[in-house]
Structure 1
Amino acid sequence: MKRNHIWAVVVLVALLAWGVVDAYVLDTGAENAATSEPGSVPIGLKKGNLAPDFELRQLGGGKVKLSDLRGKKVIVNLWATWCPPCRAEIPDMQRFYEANKANGVVILGVNLTTTETKPEDVEAFVQAYGMTFPVLLDDEKHVSGAYKAISIPTSFLIDSNGVIREKYIGPMSYEWMEKTLAGMQ
């Protein structure tokens, strides 16, 4: 029994260390070097950077490209069906999307498909939770890699110009999304 407690502590310390690395090391530096054009906003993952563009297949058909959503406020939410905090935030995200989609708010639920036991679990999960916002399938790890999704859920709030205004690790609440997006252009 004592050995189980030791392993639990080791795992907890490792997860906390990854959180520190994500927040303080990976969020600075090299990703800020790229720019879309000379004199423009740098492409990267820090607040004030242009969000890295991507195009993914949408559950149910078609593709969605982030840059095609300019002019709208976008939440890019990286998640998986097996993740308890991801499950916890879905009802608030769905409610927020329904209340704000007419005002130009888009939620892109980017499923980390390679982490799923069975890809068909994603569709069953979406139906069970009544998700109507676009669910994208990151089945080649392009977005999870580009957005450095070390822990999930991780969300990026992107303004109508394609600029990252907030990064949030953990389950978002309706109130937090409402307050944060209210101050964005």
Structure 2
Amino acid sequence: MAAGLNDIEAIPHLDKAGKEGYREFLTAEKHRAFAIAPGGAWTWNGGGSSAESVAEDTQQTCEFDNGQTCMIYALDDRVVFDSQTWAGLWGPYLDRTQASRAAVGLKRGERFYDLSFRSADGHPMQLSDLQGKVVVLHFWGSWCLPCRREMPEMQQLHRALGRSSDIQMVMLQVREDFATARKWTRQQHLKLPLYDSGVSKKANDTLNLAAGKTIHDRYIAEMFPTTYILDKHGIVVFSNIGPISRWSEYLPLLRDVAARSGK
């Protein structure tokens, strides 16, 4: 059954501020439109000359302000949200040739830095080893209160993914050693895909690159936690600075990346 216009909790990825914005939208004069994007971005406009023009203006504003594809959730008194279109908003994905030419960086459409790290049992790895899989790359620390609060959501996502062969979560600790991070998760009875970033103490603020160099952790993550979603070619399709609530709502998008990227 489709969500009702007043069912704010049904709107995917919307945080407290977004919900307040939606309440304002509901009281605005017609014509009005409310746009959303994966990750919680939102915009609304009211008082338009027509439903078509306000929808177009709102979508364009949302995409200009947030740098990603948006879609109209509600228009005047109707919910027009299309869950199938929503699931594909991280696309279109780069093909093999396009991906090979992509610049290295952190922005959408760029190839993420080839980090060097170790598996939980100490096996040396690098991020490029995981090409062919969608990667949920998560930077966190047990000392970080927002990170700790997000962990139950990460646990639910991990369980929901189950034995998925083409979506891999990689959780790398920052500003603490691996033993400390793992000890905390065990104390909380969390079973998560932890990997050793190579950080050995609190004062260590760099991460290792496969080429032998290092990169500052605050360059990759302005704050912790920070998450990147990489497609099967290692290309950034989504990033989020800070904790995410309701990670389960990202499953349709993750599965779309798994199904359609890597060609």
Q: Return the TM-score normalized by structure 2.
A: 0.50
State how far apart, in whole Å, the 2-side matches of 1:158 and 1:42 are.
Answer: 14
Highest CA radius of gyration, 1 or 2?
2
Q: 1:125 aligns with which of 176, 181, 184?
A: 184
In structure 2, what residue type is equivalent to 1:145?
A: H
Distance verdict in 2 for CA 1:132–1:179, change over 3 Å: same
CA RMSD of aligned residues (A): 2.5
**Residue pair 2:136, 2:170 contacting (<8 A) in 1 also:** yes
State how far apart, in whole Å, the 1-side matches of 2:249 and 2:143 are.
Answer: 23
State how far apart, in whole Å, the 2-side matches of 1:167 and 1:90 are.
Answer: 17
Matched residue, 2:44:
none
Is the aligned partner of 1:98 residue 2:159?
yes
Deviations 1:26-76 (A, max 9, x none): xxxxxxxxxxx9x71111110000111111123332123111111111011
**Residue pair 2:117, 2:195 contacting (<8 A) in 1 also:** no
The aligned runs of 1:41-80 (5 Å cut-off) are 41-80=102-141
- Displacement, 1:164? 0.3
- Displacement, 1:170? 1.4
The aligned runs of 1:100-179 (5 Å cut-off) are 100-103=161-164, 104-112=166-174, 115-116=175-176, 120-129=179-188, 130-139=190-199, 141-142=206-207, 145=216, 148-172=220-244, 173-179=246-252
Give the total of aligned pairs. 146
Deviations 1:118-148 (A, max 9, x none): 7642121121232331322241512562652
State how far apart, in whole Å, the 1-side matches of 2:236 and 2:207 are.
Answer: 18
**Residue pair 1:59, 1:137 contacting (<8 A) in 2 also:** no
Gaps of 5+ in 1: 1-36
Q: Return the TM-score normalized by structure 1.
A: 0.69
State how far apart, in whole Å, the 1-side matches of 2:194 and 2:112 are.
Answer: 18
- Displacement, 1:93? 1.3
Distance verdict in 2 for CA 1:155–1:48, change over 3 Å: same
Is the aligned partner of 1:181 residue 2:254?
yes
SS in 1 for 2:118: strand
Work out which structure has the larger RCO, using CA pairs closer than 8 Å and 6 or more positions apart in sequence. Answer: 1
Distance verdict in 2 for CA 1:79–1:61, change over 3 Å: same
Please identify, of 152-161 and 60-69, the stretch whose mean Cα deviation from structure 2 is larger.
Answer: 60-69
